[in-house]
Chain A
């Protein structure tokens, strides 16, 4: 957080022409050019809109207090449904003592001062890191501006600043019964010194953080006016779809475009590195043109990944030692002394993110500058790739982060696949163009959650105490492709994100077991594009760990809740949520005809335990009746948004556990749309109850924590009902009928 402190020292406050105040934070790092003040004669010129590129890079509006006392906060994290455009302004508003009813927000431009401190030099909305990453810096910025507003009022009234207080965007002088609005004081505040370490509030005095607030985008998202990337419309814009090879990384060999060009509205057909672009006046013509296209593909270098083959390869690798990622005590000795050693193998398929808004990018490239509009979780890297393809400096690209119709990791691809495609199209066309992916393109387009095999084992003494634990994962390393791409040069200048948080190594097994060995095989399959997906490898690793715990508990006639409890003595936060969920779900007393399962995980600085209630009939009709969660995310900035994220995570997990599977046969993806890649629907959705148990620590991530324990809790409930051990997903492949 040292960088953050440094960065805040660059906080710049400027008076706006016509009143008001503009807070900018310039100089993303010590090597950046020194910040220039924003053009105060034109308060509406958002940074990034034209102008000198160097200035655009160095200066960015962050917070604007207008003379009408309204406040606008620009947010560097991407709104992907999680509520970033509401929660992050709440943090600033808290320390600023702002009138929340007058606060609005918007996406920031791409610029260093909006980087997520969690990742260093990146705007990157992954790893459940938006709120927890920006929290400290946003508090400091809000507190600094509040301090300056008080100083301005003290000067005006000629009193000591310590005699003044603030409330709802007013500075109040109780002794003399007067007050002034922030809007009124803003211009004078701009002349005050910026405090470097402003005192922060005692959390006990929070009035905004910790209170449920309506989302700032609620109205726009209920009347059709929110503009997503898919809705971008600029003058002269054409529409493109791209014919892609049936196997990943095939190359177009010969193209017959006569029939396509004969379709009214189709204007042009040309090849780009990843396929053949069909350009038309509108989507429907482009799509008809693509259907009429005849392409033969060179598949010499194309991917031939086959799901069944992957599974047997991974199974074989489970017998070989992997790269150690955690080693405590002496596992071999403990195993030799054990009265019993049990083990189990698991397999998990490829899965598609299938966000509701299919991928799309609009590019307006003129040869010397460009604008890009797209829903992105990774705008800093996207802009770098765009610059390298378009032959521009990153600062010459005005990148508009659009509200995303879901992300789940797919819009945070460090290889920027879909932005690169669109830039290749725009470079050839030199005319504004929107590249639209159909649902089928999106489903077949790769960058899936990688398939995985896991083997866990436990050594036990006579009492059923686990004396040694091993965990071996075999999967594709979703970060390895970073190092294999030709574009390495583009990335070389950048700090890569802390890969340990993002990659596929499971080290978080939370139980008090003396001897632990965890290792992993991270296979490299460059022709099989894989990527992180909501809850990353925790989805598979925690599934194996938490179902295996139940098998052991059952074998020794122990209650799965109490068995876990006894191994969590050193982990009070996990213990608290475990007890909390057991109580909320009335553990041990399910309604007649139902069975319960329990599971837990701590990660992303958050803690959750979940209970799933199911019934299974004789003919394998499986109904999920209820999911209860108890979560400790430290500080819940907006408690209702935390609950919403847990509900969202539960439903996302159920889709994956029940149905989620992308199958490849000889390199060809078999799924195409929501008919053969089903996701959970209303009638399959259980009652979902969520208990918040915030410990008051710094905020933890909540976007993913609701996902990983649902699968094992569900499998444990099936195990309790039927004695059947679930060792692979999705459940639809195990002849369950999902009711």
Chain B
């Protein structure tokens, strides 16, 4: 039995220690907002916050996540910056297929939380681990700048 603290709630799951956090979230806790894209920490679709840090849940064994605060897309609106990111994404029509966007939003929220006025270079560094096959990068960059300049 492993105890997890996800979006402020305590959960106990009966799974192998090595099962990745991503699949525990998706299959055992039914939180399917975090996506599987590569399973190898190459695409960022599975990005969650572990103690506030953007983390690729597909390569974190669930046992390593125990004892840490886990936040996912389903509750990111409870962070002020998370809610701003969602609103800016909507206003600028950022999502296309949308499959990468949970990860993009978690990464952008972490960036803006630690750095309220990121430069283009800061955005490149924070966001280049998140692939978007639909090519929404220009709008993601624009949305991050918009939040930083208008709301932070």
- Residues of chain A touching chain B, judged by Cβ–Cβ distance below 8 Å, are 79-83, 214-215, 217-228, 230-231, 233, 264, 282-284, 354-358, 403-408, 438-439, 640-641, 644, 647-652, 655, 673-675, 679-683, 685, 687-688
Interface presence of B114 (CB below 8 A): no
Q: What CA separation (Å) do A265 and B33 show in the bound complex?
A: 24
Q: What CA separation (Å) do A651 and B133 show in the bound complex?
A: 8
Task: Find out whether the CB atom of A357 lies under 8 angstroms from the CB atom of B97.
Answer: yes
Q: Tell me whether A679 and B96 are in contact in the complex, defined as CB-CB below 8 angstroms, given that A218-B89, A282-B27, A674-B38 are known contacts.
A: no
Task: Find out whether the CB atom of B141 lies under 8 angstroms from the CB atom of A358.
Answer: no
Residue from the list B35, B38, B139 in contact with A673, Cβ < 8 A: B38
Nearest first, the 9 closest Cβ-Cβ pairs linking A and B are A224-B33, A651-B135, A405-B99, A221-B98, A81-B97, A81-B96, A224-B73, A683-B124, A221-B95
Interface presence of B43 (CB below 8 A): yes
Q: Tell me whether A357 and B86 are in contact in the complex, defined as CB-CB below 8 angstroms, given that A283-B27, A673-B42, A679-B133 are known contacts.
A: no
Q: What CA separation (Å) do A84 and B80 show in the bound complex?
A: 32
Residue from the list B32, B98, B101, B137 in contact with A685, Cβ < 8 A: B137
Task: Find out whether the CB atom of A282 lies under 8 angstroms from the CB atom of B23.
Answer: yes
Interface presence of B65 (CB below 8 A): no
Task: Find out whether the CB atom of B123 lies under 8 angstroms from the CB atom of A682.
Answer: yes
Residue from the list B39, B74, B124 in contact with A223, Cβ < 8 A: B74
Interface presence of B8 (CB below 8 A): no
Q: Tell me whether A675 and B40 are in contact in the complex, defined as CB-CB below 8 angstroms, given that A356-B134, A644-B96 are known contacts.
A: yes
Task: Find out whether the CB atom of A651 lies under 8 angstroms from the CB atom of B137.
Answer: yes
21 contacts between A and B (CB under 8 A): A81-B98, A222-B98, A223-B33, A224-B31, A224-B33, A224-B72, A282-B28, A283-B23, A355-B133, A356-B35, A356-B37, A356-B97, A358-B36, A405-B35, A644-B136, A651-B137, A652-B135, A673-B38, A681-B131, A682-B124, A682-B128
**Residue numbers in A under 8 Å from B137 (CB-CB):** 651, 680-682, 685
Task: Find out whether the CB atom of B130 lies under 8 angstroms from the CB atom of A682.
Answer: yes
Supplied contacts A79-B97, A224-B32, A357-B37, 5 more A-B pairs, CB within 8 Å: A227-B32, A644-B136, A647-B135, A651-B132, A673-B42
Residue from the list B16, B37, B140 in contact with A439, Cβ < 8 A: B37
Q: Tell me whether A225 and B33 are in contact in the complex, defined as CB-CB below 8 angstroms, given that A214-B91, A651-B137, A685-B138 are known contacts.
A: yes
Interface presence of B77 (CB below 8 A): yes
Give chain A nearest CB distance to B121 CB in angstroms. 9
Residue of B nearest to A439 (CB): B38
**Residue numbers in A under 8 Å from B97 (CB-CB):** 79-81, 355-357, 403-407
Task: Find out whether the CB atom of B90 lies under 8 angstroms from the CB atom of A218.
Answer: yes
Residue of B nearest to A82 (CB): B96
Residue from the list A82, A356, A407, A641 in contact with B131, Cβ < 8 A: A356
User: In B97-141, which residues have CB < 8 Å from any A CB?
Assistant: 97-102, 105, 123-125, 127-141
Q: Tell me whether A356 and B43 are in contact in the complex, defined as CB-CB below 8 angstroms, given that A80-B97, A282-B27, A682-B127 are known contacts.
A: yes
Task: Find out whether the CB atom of A222 lies under 8 angstroms from the CB atom of B89.
Answer: yes
Q: Tell me whether A673 and B96 are in contact in the complex, defined as CB-CB below 8 angstroms, given that A224-B33, A682-B141 are known contacts.
A: no
Chain A CB count within 10 A is highest, among B36, B38, B130, B133, for: B133
Q: What CA separation (Å) do A516 and B138 show in the bound complex?
A: 40
Q: What CA separation (Å) do A571 and B10 show in the bound complex?
A: 66
Residue from the list A231, A644, A679 in contact with B93, Cβ < 8 A: A644
Task: Find out whether the CB atom of A83 lies under 8 angstroms from the CB atom of B38.
Answer: no
Interface presence of B34 (CB below 8 A): yes
Give chain B nearest CB distance to A232 CB in angstroms. 9
**Residue numbers in A under 8 Å from B54 (CB-CB):** none
Q: What CA separation (Å) do A379 and B86 show in the bound complex?
A: 32
Residue of B nearest to A226 (CB): B98
Residue from the list B20, B23, B98, B139 in contact with A405, Cβ < 8 A: B98
Chain A CB count within 10 A is highest, among B32, B34, B123, B135, for: B135
**Residue numbers in A under 8 Å from B37 (CB-CB):** 356-358, 439
**Residue numbers in A under 8 Å from B77 (CB-CB):** 223
Give chain B nearest CB distance to A182 CB in angstroms. 27
Give chain A nearest CB distance to B63 CB in angstroms. 13
Residue from the list A81, A218, A222, A438 in contact with B105, Cβ < 8 A: A222
Give chain B nearest CB distance to A196 CB in angstroms. 37
Task: Find out whether the CB atom of A264 lies under 8 angstroms from the CB atom of B98.
Answer: no
- Residues of chain B touching chain A, judged by Cβ–Cβ distance below 8 Å, are 15-16, 19-20, 23, 26-28, 30-40, 42-43, 45, 72-74, 76-77, 86, 89-91, 93-102, 105, 123-125, 127-141
Residue from the list A403, A404, A406, A681 in contact with B128, Cβ < 8 A: A681
**Residue numbers in B under 8 Å from A358 (CB-CB):** 36-37
Give chain B nearest CB distance to A216 CB in angstroms. 11
Residue from the list B34, B43, B128 in contact with A674, Cβ < 8 A: B43
**Residue numbers in A under 8 Å from B27 (CB-CB):** 282-284
Task: Find out whether the CB atom of A648 lies under 8 angstroms from the CB atom of B131.
Answer: no
**Residue numbers in B under 8 Å from A652 (CB-CB):** 133, 135
Residue of B nearest to A676 (CB): B42
Q: What CA separation (Å) do A650 and B134 show in the bound complex?
A: 10
Residue from the list B28, B102, B133, B139 in contact with A224, Cβ < 8 A: B102
Task: Find out whether the CB atom of B139 lies under 8 angstroms from the CB atom of A644.
Answer: yes
Task: Find out whether the CB atom of A224 lies under 8 angstroms from the CB atom of B43.
Answer: no
Residue of A nearest to B130 (CB): A682
**Residue numbers in A under 8 Å from B93 (CB-CB):** 214-215, 218, 640-641, 644
Q: What CA separation (Å) do A221 and B98 show in the bound complex?
A: 5
Q: Tell me whether A356 and B132 are in contact in the complex, defined as CB-CB below 8 angstroms, given that A215-B95, A219-B90 are known contacts.
A: yes
Residue from the list A79, A218, A357, A679 in contact with B35, Cβ < 8 A: A357
Give chain A nearest CB distance to B18 CB in angstroms. 8
Task: Find out whether the CB atom of B141 lies under 8 angstroms from the CB atom of A403.
Answer: no
**Residue numbers in A under 8 Å from B125 (CB-CB):** 683
Q: What CA separation (Å) do A226 and B95 show in the bound complex?
A: 11
Q: Tell me whether A224 and B42 are in contact in the complex, defined as CB-CB below 8 angstroms, given that A648-B134, A679-B131, A682-B127 are known contacts.
A: no
Give chain B nearest CB distance to A457 CB in angstroms. 34
Task: Find out whether the CB atom of A284 lies under 8 angstroms from the CB atom of B20.
Answer: yes
**Residue numbers in A under 8 Å from B45 (CB-CB):** 356
**Residue numbers in B under 8 Å from A225 (CB-CB):** 33, 74
Give chain B nearest CB distance to A705 CB in angstroms. 14
Chain B CB count within 10 A is highest, among A655, A680, A682, for: A682
Give chain B nearest CB distance to A142 CB in angstroms. 23
**Residue numbers in A under 8 Å from B40 (CB-CB):** 439, 673-675
Task: Find out whether the CB atom of A222 lies under 8 angstroms from the CB atom of B133.
Answer: no
Give chain B nearest CB distance to A485 CB in angstroms. 28
Task: Find out whether the CB atom of A217 lies under 8 angstroms from the CB atom of B42.
Answer: no
Q: What CA separation (Å) do A687 and B145 show in the bound complex?
A: 14
Q: What CA separation (Å) do A680 and B132 show in the bound complex?
A: 8
Give chain A nearest CB distance to B51 CB in angstroms. 20
Residue of A nearest to B105 (CB): A222
Task: Find out whether the CB atom of B96 lies under 8 angstroms from the CB atom of A223.
Answer: no
Chain B CB count within 10 A is highest, among A221, A355, A647, A673, for: A221
Chain B CB count within 10 A is highest, among A230, A358, A648, A675, for: A648
Chain A CB count within 10 A is highest, among B37, B99, B123, B131, for: B99
Residue of B nearest to A404 (CB): B97
Residue of A nearest to B27 (CB): A282
Task: Find out whether the CB atom of B16 lies under 8 angstroms from the CB atom of A264.
Answer: yes
Chain B CB count within 10 A is highest, among A231, A655, A679, A685, for: A685
**Residue numbers in B under 8 Å from A228 (CB-CB):** 35, 99
Q: What CA separation (Å) do A649 and B140 show in the bound complex?
A: 16
Task: Find out whether the CB atom of A233 lies under 8 angstroms from the CB atom of B30.
Answer: yes
Q: What CA separation (Å) do A652 and B132 show in the bound complex?
A: 10
Residue of B nearest to A265 (CB): B16
Residue of A nearest to B133 (CB): A356
Residue of B nearest to A640 (CB): B93
Q: Tell me whether A222 and B135 are in contact in the complex, defined as CB-CB below 8 angstroms, given that A283-B23, A357-B35, A439-B40 are known contacts.
A: no
